[in-house]
Structures are given as structure tokens and as C-alpha cells.
Amino acid sequence: MRSPISAVTIVKNRTEKLIHLIAQLEQCSPTPDELVIVWMAPPSGLSLIKSDKFDIVHKFTTQGELPIAKARNKGMQAAKHANLAYLNVDAVVSPSLFKDGLLALKDNAVIFTSVVFLPSERCEKPYSDISKCEQQIGYLASNDDTQPKEDNNEIPSRDQEINHGKFSDDSVCSTVFFIRKADFQKTGGFDEGYAGFGLNDEDFFTNCRALGYLLEQLPTRTFAPQRPNYQCPVNHLLDFVHNAQRFHAKWGFYPCTEVLKAYAEKGFIDSNYEENGLKVIQLPEQEDDPSSVDISASSAAPSSAGFEFTSFHSPAKNQERLSSTA
């Protein structure tokens, strides 16, 4: 049986994850009515993949190295239903996902699942097998407020002063979330001014809070592969710093301060970036300390001057930090 909902995912090279995701959605009861796949790569044989359980719509966006925001927006706008579910391509979802999500979904709200991060090889198994193992070994969801601090899977709690750790609850919440299409359109979508890696999720959910949307967590669990390099994503330094500059210009505070702290400890950025401004002072694998590099002038991303945000609800730059409690 199909449910009146459009599922959306984006993919570039992880086609094996896409095949696994489609197989999972086919086992859901009910299934989505359609799956919109946005490819961040040229068409291939897999871009014709179909399912006999639901419609599959293929879209393409190849502009830029990793046009995540643009791909997400394209998928959400292409969806035909009023109810949307966004899923990361590597998510392992519950068979009851769409039933649970639709029951909880309401206007002016974002409904997201709890997420348990596991070693990649565990995420290749069926949901029921992972769930049994998870119960036996006691894994807890990374965005579960009841999780003990010593748990290795922990992402800092939403009760923490700065809800932006490695990465943050917001990047976890975006693994699987539900939203009305009309409400997504009110947000202006994901800000396509963020270049490459990092902070698009934080920006989107901060915008949802600014609009007064309810952020509500389902008890339904989603499993996802661990990403150990996310605590200090060195290979994405330039993208991340540019995006943090953009976020600060837009919202008046720096996100993911644990990541920025890790960069500062490695000597990549000034530890006093709050006072001196966020700049790269040394690149990875670079022994000598070059003259300070201002990412707003870097070729890695467009200038932060004269931003044109896709959101229509950006607060003033010096506005107090928004509450991050869902």
C-alpha cells in the first residue's frame, strides 16, 4: 500500500547505498507514493532504475563540485505530494517510517527520527537485524536526550549551550525528516550559497526555528554509518570556514564551535575568531605559516560580501542566538 507522501534523496557516487535504500523503502508498510532521486552526477544506467512498489522520478543537478543544497531543493520542489520526507541515501529506515511520520506530521512543523550511528558494515544488514543487535549492545540514538555523556555515539545534547558539536543535532536531524511542502517553501529551501561541505543543515533548521516551526522527534529509530572524521573535517577546511562565515553573517553566531575549536587546536584558524574574525592561517599539510587567508576572498567559494540568501526570514546579524531546543 502506498502513502500520500513523496520521499526525496540525493546521490552522487554512492550508488550501492541508493540501491539499498530503494530496497528498504520497498519493504516499508506503507511505502511512499514516489521517490524523487536527484543525481549530483551525469546520467548513467542506474539513473533509469525503477521500482514496482512506487514511482521513481530522476532529476539531475551537476553544477558545482557538490551542490548539496541545490540538489535537495530540486528534489523537494519536484515532489508531487503535499507531504515530504527527506532521507539521506545511506540511512537505514524502519519499515513503519512513513506510517509514523504521517501520523506525527502537522503544519508548521519538522518531524525527524532519532538516529543511531553504527560501523558501516552493520548498516548493510536489514533493519530488523540491526535493531535486534542495537538492543543487545545498548546503542542509543545520537540525538536522544537520555543518552549518557560517556556513550561513544553521542552528539552533544540539545540542552548544551551551543547546540553545534560534531556536527550538531541539526545535522543528525536531517538524516530523515518530514515536512509539509508548503512549509518547506516558506523557508526558502536550503541556502544554496553554502559551498560544498558543511552547515547547510544547521542553517536550514535555524531558519525553521526562526519561523516558529515546531521541531519534534519521533521515537522511530534510523540507523546510519558513523563518520569519525566529522569531528575535525580537515579535508573540508576551506568549505567549512567559508560556510561558517556565511552562517555568522546571516544569524549572528558561529555554528559547530567544537569543529572550529578543533581547527584552532590544529593551528588552521585563529583561536580568537570570535574577536578577530574567522580566517584560515594555515592549510593542512603546510609546514610554514602563510599570510592569513581570508576565505571570503578564496577561490574555493564565492565572496561573503553581498549575500543573497534563499531564505526570506534571516534575522539581523546581531540577533540573540535562537533556542536550539526541539
Question: What confidence score (pLDDT) does residue 134 get?
Answer: 65
Which of 9-23, 127-141, 189-203 bottoms out in mean pLDDT, i.e. has the lowest? Answer: 127-141
In a domain, 312, yes or no: no
Q: Which three cell numbers stand for residue 15?
A: 550508488
How many Cβ atoms are within 10 Å of 210's Cβ, its own excluded? 16
Give DSSP secondary structure letters for 271-326. TTHHHH---B---TT--S-PSPB-GGGSTTS--STT---S-S-PPPTTPPPPP---
* Separation of alpha carbons 158 and 144, rounded Å: 9
* Separation of alpha carbons 305 and 311, rounded Å: 17
Q: What's the chain's average pLDDT?
A: 79
In a domain, 308, yes or no: no
Q: How confident is the model at residue 86 (pLDDT cuts 50, 70, 90)?
A: very high
Does 120 score more than 80 pLDDT? yes
Question: What confidence score (pLDDT) does residue 198 get?
Answer: 81
pLDDT tens track for 216-247: 999 999 999 987 655 677 888 998 999 999 99
* Separation of alpha carbons 54 and 119, rounded Å: 30
Residues 122 and 267 in one domain: no
The domain boundary, picked from 186, 205, 228, lies at 228
Residues 129 and 249 in one domain: no
* Separation of alpha carbons 112 and 32, rounded Å: 16
In a domain, 315, yes or no: no
Q: Spell out where 160-212 has E strands.
A: 176-180
Domain extent for 288: 231-297
Residues 130 and 172 in one domain: yes
Q: Quote the DSSP letter at residue 222.
A: E
Residues 167 and 277 in one domain: no
Question: What confidence score (pLDDT) does residue 301 get?
Answer: 38
Domain count, the chain: 2
Compute the 3-state secondary structure of the chain and give helix, strand, coil in percent, each to the nearest 5: 35, 20, 45
In a domain, 305, yes or no: no
The domain boundary, picked from 187, 213, 228, lies at 228
Classified as helix, coil or strand, 114 is: strand
* Percent of the residues in the chain that have a pLDDT greater than 70, as a whole number: 74
Residues 200 and 94 in one domain: yes
Residues 109 and 121 in one domain: yes
Average pLDDT of span 156-184: 66
* Separation of alpha carbons 39 and 24, rounded Å: 19
Give the CATH number for residue 196: 3.90.550.10
Question: What confidence score (pLDDT) does residue 137 get?
Answer: 53
Does 148 score more than 60 pLDDT? no
